[in-house]
Amino acid sequence: MGLSRLVLFLVLFTAGYWLWKKFSNQKKTKQPAATATHMVRCNHCDLYLAQEQATQKNDQWYCCADHARQDN
């Protein structure tokens, strides 16, 4: 293996490592925003739960369809 090949290998290795680091950093910073859940309170029983699991009715949040129906 000549010196130029060794240098080329080192450059490729460094570039690959830099790209991998950049990519994994992006993944890390993007994840919290994607998994961040907004907590809402059930208007009937005061239970806190994630908004995506809650039921909305008349601008109020409920933990289940039953409570949404019972609370008018």
64 sits in the region (left: phi over 0; alpha: psi -120 to 50; else beta) called beta
- Taking a C-beta distance cutoff of 8 angstroms, is the pair 51, 60 a contact? no
Could you say whether residue 44 binds Zn ion (CB under 5 A)?
yes
Could you say whether residue 63 binds Zn ion (CB under 5 A)?
yes
Mark the segment that binds Zn ion (CB under 5 A) among 2-10, 18-26, 31-39, 44-52.
Answer: 44-52
Strands (E) across 1-72 are located at 39-41, 48-50, 55-57, 60-62
Could you say whether residue 40 binds Zn ion (CB under 5 A)?
no
Smaller CB distance to Zn ion: residue 32 or 46? Answer: 46
Mark the segment that binds Zn ion (CB under 5 A) among 5-13, 14-22, 33-41, 45-53.
Answer: 45-53
